[in-house]
Amino acid sequence: MRNIKLTIEYKGSNYCGWQKQKNGLSIQQAIVTAIAQATGESVALNGSGRTDSGVHAIAQVANFHTASPIPPERFSFAINAYLPEDISIVSSEEVPEAFHARFNAKGKVYRYYIWNAFRRNAIIPEFAYFAPNPLDLSAMQKAAQIFVGKHDFAAFMAVGSKVKSTTREIYKAEVSEVECPFGAEDGSLICIELTGSGFLYNMVRIIAGTLMEVGLGKRSERQIADALEKGERGLAGQTLPPEGLFLYKVLYEVF
Amino acid sequence: MRNIKLTIEYKGSNYCGWQKQKNGLSIQQAIVTAIAQATGESVALNGSGRTDSGVHAIAQVANFHTASPIPPERFSFAINAYLPEDISIVSSEEVPEAFHARFNAKGKVYRYYIWNAFRRNAIIPEFAYFAPNPLDLSAMQKAAQIFVGKHDFAAFMAVGSKVKSTTREIYKAEVSEVECPFGAEDGSLICIELTGSGFLYNMVRIIAGTLMEVGLGKRSERQIADALEKGERGLAGQTLPPEGLFLYKVLYEVF
């Protein structure tokens, strides 16, 4: 049996999320089905973590064990032949037997995109949240730094989530304006990029919503520090919708 | 009656093209319907030209006459409220009575995007043509210059098109690699940008196909010159599909 690591890109708009569910098609299920078609095997596919319905991934990572004779680097081509248009295996490689996409993940990079203009964007509505009122980019950049470091992010987690610890470490928080090749010259495509040890449920979307409110002048840095300190969800900003969120990278130490 | 000029962005994937047709919903029809909902008027909407099914626009231009009291700059908001997600009015303004989006157009800028990587792109398959074999960018850049100038483009027009003259002038032809905020780091997003006085039916898609074949080493500059000279469709390259094509700008002298 070989252990194969996949790097996966997907547009999450038409899926119920990464994880297999009773209702709705999941990304995981679509890939497991394609692997079965390519190899004849029914495999267990371990993702680095779940992504919600509507959330996209540029480089989700997953692994599975197989007895198939397909060369490791060729799995990407073999599986892509059976996948729908909105899921693509970027690359495949053999990794040590012990590698597990979730247990060995040391961190993740997420991006949240906001389309800031007076009018809706018709080309990328599935990839960016539309914020019609002008955002103060430098205020958002400055406020983002408050999140950097090891903090109790209890206030930045969806209510009702069950976790042992709500402490996480953010290594880097960047807010920038990015170019888009598909037009968008009359507005700004704002990118919030967070690199961290791990993220609580809805944490990136709540941080993005909080920073957006800073950009609107509706929330102060002092309020963010207060929310981090008190750990009450009601003290943090709104949860932005899934369409602007991209799992950008999963960080591993050895593999 | 005031004459209103609209700048329009749309994702063409779900439409039969710009022009009203018996079968399928057109962009033009969707906008005329939204204008009727916003103003109560049934207007004649003059586009700068047609775009085919699946072709996108960053800045299509159209005009219509209206007796509505809506302030000119507010038409964009009023119409957007009634348009579907994949069409957005970028801006609206009042123009002189004589302005006609098609008759006054002095030129157009089109872009054609090619996603060049070993694997399909799952995020932007509706916005770029997938070319799996490596393309020689500098060969394409050099060959693109052959099209610049006034030429008879008969060989670069869909067979059966009816036009008085097949002579057009290309002012500028650029081939470049562009950044994409939505991943795509393991491949190249290649942009072919053509600025010209006007374009024959399928001309941009045939030029893009011809340049792609140059990038693959399957077509020489000499063959392009020969196709321009002889005017036979069979001497030019393939017509690339609509999804990579964007009407990027319409050029006007005065307005």
pLDDT digits (tens, 9 = 90+) for A187-245: 999 999 999 999 999 999 999 999 999 999 999 999 999 999 999 999 999 999 999 99
> Tokens 């909407």 map to which residue?
B45
Question: Of B50, B66, B95, which one is at a domain's C-terminal end?
Answer: B95
- Check whether residue B65 and residue B136 sit in a common domain: no
* Domain identity same for B82 and B123: no
Give CA–CA dist B243/B238, Å, rounded: 15
CATH number at residue A12: 3.30.70.580
The answer to whether position B8 is within a domain reads yes
Q: Are residues A9 and A82 in the same domain?
A: yes
pLDDT above 60 for B16 = yes
Tell whether A101 is covered by a domain: no
The residues facing B40 across adjacent strands are: none
End-to-end C-alpha distance for chain B, whole angstroms: 18
Asked if the Cβ–Cβ distance from B90 to A125 is below 8 Å, we say: no
Pair A213, A246 in one domain: yes
Instruction: Say yes or no: B89 and B130 in one domain.
Output: no
* CA proximity to A188, closest of A173, A175, A178, A199: A178
Please indicate, yes or no, if residue A22 is contained in any of the structural domains: yes
What are B159-185's pLDDT values in tens digits? 988 899 999 999 999 999 999 999 878
Say if B100 falls within a structural domain. Answer: no
- How many A×B Cβ pairs under 8 Å? 95
pLDDT digits (tens, 9 = 90+) for B51-93: 999 999 999 999 999 999 999 999 999 999 999 999 999 999 9
The DSSP call for residue B201 is T
* Same domain flag for B77 and B179: no
What is the domain count for chain B?
Answer: 2
Contacting residues of B for A112, CB less than 8 Å apart:
none
CATH number of A208's domain: 3.30.70.660
Q: Could you tell me the residue range of the domain that residue A228 belongs to?
A: 106-252
A201 assigned to some structural domain = yes
pTM: 0.95
B150 shares its domain with B25: no
Is B158 a domain residue? yes
Query: Is B11 contained in some domain?
Result: yes
Q: What are phi and psi of A83, to 5 degrees?
A: -90, 150
Torsion of CA A100, A102, A107, A110, to 10 degrees: 130
Task: Give catalytic status of residue B52 as yes or no.
Answer: yes
Q: Which residue of A has its CA nearest to B249?
A: A183
Note whether A236 and A208 are same-domain residues: yes
pLDDT truncated to tens, each residue of chain A (255 aa)?
Answer: 999 999 999 999 999 999 988 888 999 999 999 999 999 999 999 999 999 999 999 999 999 999 999 999 999 999 999 999 999 999 999 999 999 999 999 999 999 999 999 999 999 999 999 999 999 999 999 999 999 999 999 999 999 888 999 999 999 999 999 999 998 789 999 999 999 999 999 999 999 999 999 999 999 999 999 999 999 999 999 999 999 999 999 999 865
> In this complex, which of A76, A77, A122 lies closest to B86 when CB atoms are compared?
A122
Residue B223 lies in a domain: yes
**Together in a domain, A120 and A203:** yes
Question: Do B74 and B112 sit in the same domain of this protein?
Answer: no
